[in-house]
Amino acid sequence: MAAYLLRRLLLLVPTLFGIILINFAVTQFAPGGPVEQMIAELRGQGDTSLGRLTGEGGGETRQPRPQEGSGEGPRAAYRGARGLDPAVVAEIEKTFGFDKPATTRFWEMLGSYLRFDFGQSLFRGRPVLDLILERLPVSISLGLWSTLIIYFVSIPLGIRKAVRDGTRFDAWSSGVVLLGYAIPGFLFAIMLVVLFAGGSFVQWFPLRGLTTSGSETWPFWQRAADYAWHMVLPTIALVVGGFAGLTMLTKNAFLDEINKQYVLTARAKGAGEGRVLYGHVFRNAMLLIIAGFPAAFIGILFTGALLVEIVFSLDGLGLLGFESAIRRDYPVMFATLYIFTLLGLVMQIIGDISYMLVDPRIDFSARR
């Protein structure tokens, strides 16, 4: 067990390296980087002097700090800089940290990432780590509660559907969960806003944010209730489409186990239905469910909540990553990619550990 965990932890290093390297290489060919955006802004304002960049002459100062690891080369900057003074272009590249060779930027970025030093955002003027930590509670709140609700509802429902396979209950419950799966999460979120957040009918729930303004001074129980009140609609919007896959997976896993010989033997010995389902079938059938938990959690936490965050004005990691990709804020893009990948790999290891806890017969370290 310990040797297997050590191998998996050591495997994190080349995996992270490969993912960062591939994405860094791709950005070398992506047009419209931060240098080009700055040049386009200068050309659009008709200002080709260094004063616009350095703040000289009483103008507005725009001095994003250099960031290693940004993925835009000088050649792309010159394509968008025709007609500008080359000294201005060189100063812009130096300001954004693009005056160094790509290999130098890449190794400097890796060195800083090992220390969890992600540098500064190119367009927000703040440390990237501060931005991520500021948005992380929102994404964790949405991902954690949504995943827990999906699992606590889908697993009992899937078991019930397996026990009553082919009945009327199985038919109408399948229709309900598939209907929820067919409705996009953001569309359901808009419908919830219209119905319950003051859109056209009632205003039972708040429209934006996770807390009420000024709630910092409230008692703990009141702040907890306020937080839960704000979480109702975003969580419902996320979970409504998540029941179908897990419910059907649970049902099929239990159906496959129910028809096996050991279940017939347990029933022949007089074991009750609850003992058969939860004492024998549950452990074997849940292996597939546990295998999908890391992917489900990471998917909801970092990718599934983007449009829901936009609808409910929640500043989470999904919205941060989307805005950074649009503006080509490479330090934020690479930092979020690094953290997402690291968490995803760790969750896969946790999934393997859960495998062994559910079924002690599984021993990954014994594989040859």
Which domains are present in the chain? 2-117 (no CATH), 129-366 (1.10.3720.10)
Please write down the long-range contacts of 122-125, taking CB distance under 8 Å and 24 or more positions apart: 122/34, 122/64, 122/65, 122/67, 122/70, 122/96, 122/327, 122/328, 122/329, 122/330, 122/331, 122/332, 123/34, 123/64, 123/327, 123/329, 124/329, 124/332, 125/64, 125/65
Q: Cα–Cα distance between 308 and 318 in angstroms, integer?
A: 9
Give the residue ranges of the chain where pLDDT is below 50.
Answer: 46-81
List, as one string, the DSSP characters of 283-348.
Answer: HHHHHHHHHHHHHHHHHHHHTTTHHHHHHTT---HHHHHHHHHHHT-HHHHHHHHHHHHHHHHHHH
Q: For the CA atoms of 99, 101, 102, 105, what is the dihedral angle to 10 degrees?
A: -70
Dump pLDDT digits (tens) for 163-222: 888 889 889 988 888 888 888 777 888 888 888 877 677 778 887 777 777 777 788 888
**By C-alpha distance, which of 188, 159, 327 is closest to 253?**
159
Q: Please, are residues 240 and 126 in contact by the beta-carbon 8 Å criterion?
A: no
| Percentage above 70 pLDDT, the chain | 74
pLDDT value of position 62: 45
C-alpha separations of 115 from 47, 119, 129 in Å: 39, 11, 11
How much helix, strand and coil, in percent to the nearest 5, is found in the chain?
70, 0, 25
CA distances to 9, 53, 95, 268, 333 from 98, in Å: 33, 15, 8, 74, 16
In this predicted structure, what is the pLDDT of residue 17?
Answer: 87
pTM above 0.75, yes or no: no
Looking at residue 67, its pLDDT comes to: 45
Neighbours of 33 (CB within 10 A): 25
- What are the structure tokens assigned to 224, written together? 């907890």
- Provide the total of helices (H) and of strands (E) in the chain, helices listed first: 17, 0
pLDDT the model gives residue 78: 40
Residue type, 300: I
Q: Are 304 and 96 in contact (CB under 8 A)?
A: no
Amino acid of residue 118: F
Residue 206, both tokens: 């708040």
Tokens representing residue 347 in the block: 């969750």
